[in-house]
Structure 1
Amino acid sequence: MKKLQFSLNDANTRAWLYQIVILSVVVFFVWYLVDNTLHNLAARNIQTGFAFLDKEAGFAIGESFIEYNLTDTYWQAIKVGIFNTLLVSFIGVLLATLLGTVIGIARLSSNWLVNKLASVYVEVMRNIPLLIHLFFWYSLLTENLPSPRQALNPIDGVFLSNRGIKIPALVGDSLPWLGVAFILAILATIFLAYWAKNKQNKTGQTTPVFYISLGFFVLFPVLAVLFSGCQLDVVKPELKGFNFVNGWHFSPELAALLLGLVLYTAAFVAEIVRSGIQSIGTGQWEAGESLGLSRFKTLRLIIMPQAVRVMIPAMSNTFMNLTKNSSLAVAIGYPDIVSIVNTMLTQTGQAIEAVMIIMLAYFTISISIAIFMAWYNKRMALVER
């Protein structure tokens, strides 16, 4: 057994000593900041802690997709903000990925016009600050659309005005069953894809996963509505006074935020997709052509599955950036976590706690995205045999 040597001439001893010294300095610095902060707060008779979260909020929130009333607590208001942020992030990531993928592929098109249009889109969108995007779309939606009394009605039951978008809503006791049916359809699709992949690896036989999955999303909701007694109605928006009532409402703030985030982030996604496809050798394209596959099928079946492995790390950063960029919603009045906590800060004066709540919320969402993408990256990685 090797003897431990406590000598400054020993490299291991010096390494441990340096780490202990650095850790001690960091701990002392953190302790000093905390102690100094608590002392200053006490000197100004400012209360600390999170007990205020159980008090009545007393302020209205313009847009809430979960139940919220003026008499609810600050904690309930924070949950509304977190849910609003998650909603924007999820929809934004989904739409930006779809749009960015299409534009990235278009940048590699042999058609001169398609190629140049995609290139112009990428360069224009990436070189305009996101905040300008948000201001532009918000101004466009609020100043160039008519009032509710003169609302545009492109489709029956759908109204566009400077108060937002109104669409028909589903109501009734069958609605929860409908939600469960869609969740079951998603789970069934995931299981089917996993089973079809194993079957193809063992037998070489393919399964029409897309069409079967489509059947799940049609059959399960229909069965859910039938077994729950068909208690489902469609309620259309109606103009009463100066605004619409009933139906589902999407505010100009939400629409402007999603438009800005999606169009801006899609430009970065497009470049990731383009570089990922270009990283695959031309021999793979030639192999697909030699098998008699069209360019589209070669791209879908051969190129993209390989390119995705290259894209995942950059996509992870882009998805996290979109989530954190959603904090700019406060500039156009959308009630995300930052906006709601800022209102809470104004009422309570709990500045440190408010900032900590915002930091914790974005840290939790970002780290969840990072963990999921790391898991997906591991599943997509090539396994050596």
Structure 2
Amino acid sequence: MSSMDHPRQAARRDRPSPLQDRRFHGHAIQAVVLLALLGGIGWLAANLAINLDRRGLDISFRFLLTPTGYDINQTPIPYDSRDTHLRAALVGAVNTVIVAVLACATATVLGVVAGVLRLSGNWIVARLMAVYVEMFRNIPVLIWIIIVFTVIANLLPAPGAFRGEDAARALFGVIPVTNRGVYLPWPSLAGGASAWSWAIVGAVLAASVAAALGLRGWAGRRQAATGLRPRTWPAAVALLVLPISLALWALGLSWDVPVLQGFNFAGGMHLRNSLLALWIALSIYSGAFIAENVRAGILAVDRGQTEAAAALGLRPRRVMALVVLPQALRIVVPPLISAYLNITKNTSLAIAVGYLDITGTLGGITLNQTGRALECVLLLMLFYLAASLAISAVMNLYDRSIAIVDR
């Protein structure tokens, strides 16, 4: 029995004491830092409570349920001045999401195109893209927002310029581009756009996208099994177009076309010049950063991959689309997340051109009317934190889906 216990006793003697264990040191340091951080937060909270009590103030969010008394120029959801501050904040949040999504999509396209063209063999094209990147990313985005807004407001024609015979100046004959913004035809369903009608349209669209993605997955599995990829793009286009077209036709789709009435257009959807300025400026500014990320990702792909694809007879465009970009994407996506986060946070500059996003509504007019600065700032921080975490989560899922799987 003693002979069996001897190795265990020797192991206990050889085991270092907790004060000599590196893992213990690491855990102890982390615990001390955590306690210090919690203590600092507690001290700040206590100090805040004492100062608020001395001034007869308290933290309350009841002001969100009081009427606003102000109008918002861009209202993607129903709103009037009799609604609550909570409703106004929601309108501002939707406005923020709209311009962030539009800018992220456009900046991605601009960035990919500019990043690829910077490596073009054509000297003029490569130099022009270099000028674009260096000029736009080295000037603050606020200046570009003001420049674009000034150009739109001063160089584009007024709505009255589309009167009578000059109506043909509209883009495609139905899209007036004016110094007050762009007026687009907007779909309208028979009997009004009820929630159920749009719910049906959304369900059909989601099913079409799911079917197209399923077809793409089947083609990928077929290629992995046989080495040949079936031609699926005609079927994918049909799946995306035909079901939604039939659903809209069955629901009585018509188009609400903007018509000049007096000194302005009525009908359709109005994209205000403030929205356009913010969208364009954020797109071209962030696209310059994305272009550099794309260029770095392409240069990181081994040159042998390109040479092997060319040896198989693939043309340069096919080599870029099928060989280089898919591999570069794994390098581009992580910095692309940061670009999307910066776009979302830079939408807070919208107030410079009069676009009422959540910073302009909750952090601007509502804050000034109610005097609840602490509460408004806390809600603003919570909104941008939630938006940033949501973008990071979605993009990280996509990043993991395209990562190389070790076998």
The TM tier, using the shorter chain, reads over 0.9
Tell me how far 1:304 sits from its aligned partner. 1.1
Q: Letter of the aligned partner of 1:300 in structure 2?
A: A
Counterpart position of 2:278: 257
Q: Is 1:156–2:173 an aligned residue pair?
A: yes
Q: CA RMSD, aligned part only?
A: 2.1
Pick the structure with greater CA Rg: 2
Gap regions ≥5 residues in structure 2: 1-7, 163-168
* 1:91 corresponds to which of 95, 102, 108: 102
The worse-fitting range, judged by mean Cα deviation, of 93-102 and 141-150 is: 141-150
Counterpart position of 1:306: 327
Counterpart position of 1:235: 256
Instruction: Output aligned runs, 1:135-174, within 5 Å.
Output: 135-151=146-162, 153-173=170-190
Q: Letter of the aligned partner of 2:207 in structure 1?
A: L
Q: Letter of the aligned partner of 1:205 in structure 2?
A: L
* 1:294 corresponds to which of 301, 304, 315: 315
Counterpart position of 2:213: 190
Write the deviation string for residues 311-367 of structure 1: whole angstroms up to 9, x where unpaired: 111111111111111111121111111111121111111111111111111111111
Q: Distance in 2 between matches of 1:236 and 1:148?
A: 15
Write the deviation string for residues 218-271 of structure 1: whole angstroms up to 9, x where unpaired: 20122102433xx12212212222221111100000000011000011111111
Q: Is 1:43–2:65 an aligned residue pair?
A: no
| SS of structure 1 residue aligned to 2:79 | coil
Instruction: Output aligned runs, 1:1-385, within 5 Å.
Output: 8=19, 11-151=22-162, 153-173=170-190, 176=198, 177-228=200-251, 231-341=252-362, 342-385=364-407
| SS of structure 1 residue aligned to 2:128 | helix
Q: Distance in 2 between matches of 1:285 and 1:12?
A: 47
Q: Letter of the aligned partner of 2:230 in structure 1?
A: T
- May I ask how many residue pairs the two structures share in their alignment? 383
Q: Distance in 2 between matches of 1:374 and 1:172?
A: 38
Q: Letter of the aligned partner of 2:387 in structure 1?
A: I
Write the deviation string for residues 362-383 of structure 1: whole angstroms up to 9, x where unpaired: 1111111111121111111111
Q: Letter of the aligned partner of 1:337 in structure 2?
A: I
Q: Distance in 2 between matches of 1:101 and 1:380?
A: 18
Tell me if the contact between 1:157 and 1:167 (Cα under 8 Å) persists in the aligned partners: yes
TM-score with structure 2 setting the length: 0.88
Tell me if the contact between 1:5 and 1:13 (Cα under 8 Å) persists in the aligned partners: no
Change (3 A) 1:46 1:124: same
Tell me how far 1:207 sits from its aligned partner. 2.6
Change (3 A) 1:310 1:12: closer
Q: Distance in 2 between matches of 1:335 and 1:324?
A: 14
Tell me how far 1:108 sits from its aligned partner. 0.8
Q: Letter of the aligned partner of 2:127 in structure 1?
A: K
Q: Distance in 1 between matches of 2:20 and 2:291?
A: 54
TM-score with structure 1 setting the length: 0.93
Tell me if the contact between 2:212 and 2:240 (Cα under 8 Å) persists in the aligned partners: no
The worse-fitting range, judged by mean Cα deviation, of 297-306 and 50-59 is: 50-59
Q: Distance in 2 between matches of 1:200 and 1:56?
A: 60
| SS of structure 2 residue aligned to 1:70 | coil
Tell me if the contact between 2:298 and 2:324 (Cα under 8 Å) persists in the aligned partners: yes
Q: Letter of the aligned partner of 1:169 in structure 2?
A: W
The worse-fitting range, judged by mean Cα deviation, of 128-137 and 113-122 is: 113-122
